[in-house]
Chain A
């Protein structure tokens, strides 16, 4: 009897112990590592808006490595030599008849740096816009400034997927993740981008004057006022209008931009890079680095160079030892590497005064204003130390000249200018494939994930 009492007491104590800790209670575990997107959707603080703006700057540079390497390869500005993965050669150069498919090397099912990444910047800008609209913690002018900044970046980023898939068209209505809009043609997409950029410009204008009310990185050094940001917006519009073949629109936009005919050709905003916790310049390589995974200058750039072109001397660094990569499609040898960067923390410019002057030249040439066109061309030529233009002033000759100058002035900038330029003038077949026996791609199909989504929604 006594023993049973002891046993029952022990059980009772045990039961009480178990009940007191309540082992059935499960906490709702909040994300211990990150804040949630939901935390900014309603009445975000000024600091939270600031974090989203800086986040947008970060998303804004996401495309740089992929676009520079891949599009640069497509336009044979460079070879992205990589002994560790031969597909950087075989697939990107279209060797042995390879053509882009929906999950091509380097782009995957989502289109990677040429599709998903720019759209992530667009999404980030949308979240910023919504967060700005739904908060009482910043002034109306600040809201307008944030919207203007967001839409300016969106305009720039939308052009990346549009140029990648070109005639296949892109989605421009992408605000609702579960209900994206239809694909629209390249022309329609560019028109939609124009609207976004114009809205951005108006919003910046509506925000008043003076400094942009949020902190920007050194990437916007010299562009931190509302007025200067509008100049960036207009510069991007000028590039867009050239793609839209709206030549007078190019000139109008340039008027509002930071173009300065006698100014520093390098003036313009940049993507900043730095040591951790930032990331390094993703296309920097140490001079003469004894590696065989490195961006090298495409040999045609040297073959076609004008003697004494300062751009060749400044941008192309001749290695002591060439870089050799062999694949099942043969071997490629690179003698020159990218000489533009002094260190791995150098910022990468993405739209410069030099490009704006070349756009001016192109627009004038297209509008048969050869004098103004040649004037602009000569600014570039003289800066490169190759003397003034002496060729024909026919439109065709001037366009030839401008495209040639663009190859050297805008070489390997994070845009793939040569590939896009050759395509918009229907000159893809002029790109030199004699070294790699590859193919010049015109465009990419939509990435597989887009197709899959439409299929899923169709069910």
Chain B
């Protein structure tokens, strides 16, 4: 068997001429491959629920980014010249009929009405509340996912003592009850920074820190598990054989393969943080200067206002529910699209 002559399958393919072709031709474009992420994106675009959710999310993002121009367009602002011009002190501080609901008809001056007692414009507060909500949720997500990814990568890839120490921190943070820690931290921070000029900024910053501090562990665990599985794949060993430095292996070889779990954890973390931010604001330990959906809910949730003026409560609630729901559904759709095992 050792003296076999050339089989047709061995030499023929090496002997024919390479086909020259124009790199801009249709055929050449088809040769350019599709990355797995682009295939997933194509699948996502065919998912109707995902598209609707993406449109809703986009709407909220536009509201948040262009809160200033939009409120200017409607001629509303956060400033209230004089509360008594808008609210009726003799009628439980309810808005006057000419300000719109609940006692008057719809008016373009205040499309979503005004708040009882303070007379603030609801639309302006809703738009800026959306901005605060998304800003805090997005930055907390960013901080938490970057921390989680780095911790997970290091723990999973380096293993040994590094893994033990990092996993210990993950477990420790998981044992601390989030709400209790947040409730404890808020008065301490308030006391400490109450007299600073930039108190509002510090407050938002500390809110991001608190949210991120108790949000990174899930991602870290997820990424660590994925890395443990990927580490044994032969392409990582091939990278080692060619002498690739560890940092390059981590960020150029492993990280692209972790795109799916990272996107999933981000898309599920974001709505959780939006809800948590509103919840904390309602408890009085979030943003306390009033421009926040949670704060509006806190003010609206009194029996009198709710009986007479339920729209005041529904507006921020609807924003939170729509945003969280569409973010969650979008996250699920992204996970389905990225998972090659789900075929629909």
A binds B: no
Chain B positions within 8 Å of A, measured between CB atoms, are none
Chain A positions within 8 Å of B, measured between CB atoms, are none
